[in-house]
A and B are shown apart, each in its own frame.
Chain A
Amino acid sequence: MLFAFIFILLILLAVFYYLYISLIKKKNTLKNALSGIEVQFAKRADLIPEILTIVQRYITHEKNMMEEITKLRSKMNELKKKNTPNAIEGEFELSNLLEQRMTNLFALAENYPDLKANKSLEKTMDIYHDIEENIAAARRFYNSAVEELNNACEIFPSSFVAGLINIKPYPFFEAAKGADKRVKAADYIK
């Protein structure tokens, strides 16, 4: 009887250990994916002041938009320090908002031929678009890792182990709402 009990206990321990390892691996993959996004966010944050400096020379009456971009950028930097799922979700929302504002800014720049012809802006825009592409790729990696971890956190028996070791589901990094809509530069020139 005792042997049977020990045997069952050993099997349960082995299953627990297997699920524990699998969860930790998934969490680490997710952290890896998240750090990939953070790196790209940091690159974008470093580039934005350069873009704004160039744009400000030509567009002087759109201070609100510039200020909003600067605020979003600094808010994102603040959230980066907290590494909780809620903070991450907030950071993603801000990132989407920042992306939208930057798209609007570039659309606005289209209306200023001198600015459009500026070589420095052209260069920084190319770098910016490359970073955005990297963010999109990193987001797909992150979402794939989130899907695996969340499935494990929500499906029994790994959900039980996840509860014991306090691993929580992470938020998906969704594309900005209306990101596929065409931007109307006219709305910003009023």
Chain B
Amino acid sequence: MTTKVSPYNIKQELYKAAKAIKLSRMQNIRLLIIIVAICLPVFMLMLLSGVLVKFVMYCHENNKLDFIAFIAVCISCLIYWPFMKYKQQAKNILMPFVCENLKEYEIKYYKDEKTVPIEFRRSYLHYSTTETLYGGDRFLLKFDDIFAGVYENTTFMLADIRATIKGYRRRKTSFQGVSVYIPYTNENISNVIVRRRSAEKPNKSQRIKLEDVRFEKYFDAYGDDQILARKLLTPRMIENIIRLAAIINNIKGPIRPEQLPEFIVTKKGMAIFIRSSEDAYEYNKGLFGKVDDLTGALEKIISEVKQTVAIIKACQKVELLDKIC
């Protein structure tokens, strides 16, 4: 899906933005050079004088190889820092354009969860996902590039999410993708989780076995209360979820089970999660990439936001929100 940037800002504004990004690029390249200029001679000096070999041997004999790994990670982070900084700075410059071009959704951008308004943070980031989907402190959740807006009277939030399981020596990624959150208040419904088959079972939830064979083929439903969960997951609702899954699959490309949407319905809001191996809403040019034309990068982010907003449109189309909100 390609999206055309509206003509109002094309020339002048983008030119200014490109200039700002170029400036940031130069600063970060300079920073990278300084880091390399400091690290490389130190490394070479240590290597030539034999200190490095002695240090490695010492760590090896005293079983302290973890320490070497730690230093290697620190150096990598130091080198990676200018790349990250540049990407964030470029995004900070580009995002006002994205918001301006998506005026119809009243889009606002927040770079991470710390900058999100408190009402969203309480209901969405902490309550809905951490508590309901992952059951307390088992998981680490990271939210990036959060967009809040309104689509045809439906308030929503989009975010790029990564959930990692705690307790592993190497952290295992449990979920990576985008989420759409629709806040509301409905005291008459209980927590219901619909996950694709083979995903982890959420803590403290009972499995709700439903009678629809197609639903059971792709999804597992969980809830706090067997009856209240079924009151929400009526045959019609199940049909709507299947239809929505088909629509979302078409939006995201060919049908693949790993791309099936997952849902959480709580008293405070509904969240839809879609897995993706790519980071969404990112500036796609690296530190050494050319920044003459920003239109492509802008169109990419706008198109990704629009694709995610299309999920809300699909929800409205299949009347999924009618019973809940």
Contacts and interface: CB of A to CB of B under 8 A. Distances in A.
A44 to B, nearest CB: 14
Contacts, number: 27
B152 interface: no
B200 interface: no
A144 interface: yes
Interface string B209-220: 111000000000
Interface stretch (B7-15, B225-233, B292-300): B225-233
- The DSSP consensus for interface residues of chain B is helix
Interface string A141-157: 10110000000000000
A144 B211 contact: yes
B211 A141 contact: no
Q: Interface on chain A toward B: helix, strand, loop, or mixed SS?
A: helix
B227 A138 contact: yes
A134 B209 contact: no
Contacts of A133: 231
A80 interface: no
Contacts of B226: 32-33, 36, 141
Contacts of B211: 140, 143-144
Nearest to A138: B227
- Chain A, interface size: which category? 10 to 19
B234 to A, nearest CB: 8
B215 to A, nearest CB: 13
Nearest to B226: A141
Contact of B209 (A36, A137, A138, A144): A144
Contacts of A143: 211
Nearest to B230: A137
Interface centre among B210, B226, B234 (most CB of A within 10 A): B226
A143 B124 CA distance: 35
Nearest to A39: B227
A116 B282 CA distance: 58
A29 to B, nearest CB: 9
B236 to A, nearest CB: 11
A138 B230 CA distance: 8
A133 B209 CA distance: 18
Interface in A1-50: 32-33, 36
Interface in A110-146: 133-134, 136-138, 140-141, 143-144
A133 B211 CA distance: 17
Contacts of B230: 137-138, 140-141
A108 B228 CA distance: 31
A141 B228 CA distance: 10
B4 to A, nearest CB: 47
A36 B227 contact: yes
B282 to A, nearest CB: 43
Contacts of B229: 137
Contact of B231 (A32, A33, A137, A144): A137
A137 B231 CA distance: 5
B111 to A, nearest CB: 43
Nearest to B232: A137
A141 B230 CA distance: 7
A141 B226 CA distance: 7
A26 to B, nearest CB: 12
A149 to B, nearest CB: 13
Nearest to A148: B209
A33 B229 CA distance: 13
Interface in B194-213: 209-211
Contacts of B209: 144
B207 to A, nearest CB: 11
20 contacts: A32-B226, A33-B226, A36-B226, A36-B227, A133-B231, A134-B227, A134-B231, A136-B234, A137-B228, A137-B229, A137-B230, A138-B227, A138-B230, A140-B210, A140-B211, A141-B226, A141-B227, A141-B230, A144-B210, A144-B211
Interface of B: 209-211, 226-231, 234
Given A33-B226, A137-B231, A137-B234, 9 more contacts: A36-B227, A133-B231, A137-B230, A138-B227, A140-B230, A141-B226, A141-B227, A141-B230, A144-B211
Closest 7 CB pairs of A and B: A137-B230, A137-B231, A141-B226, A138-B227, A137-B227, A140-B230, A36-B227
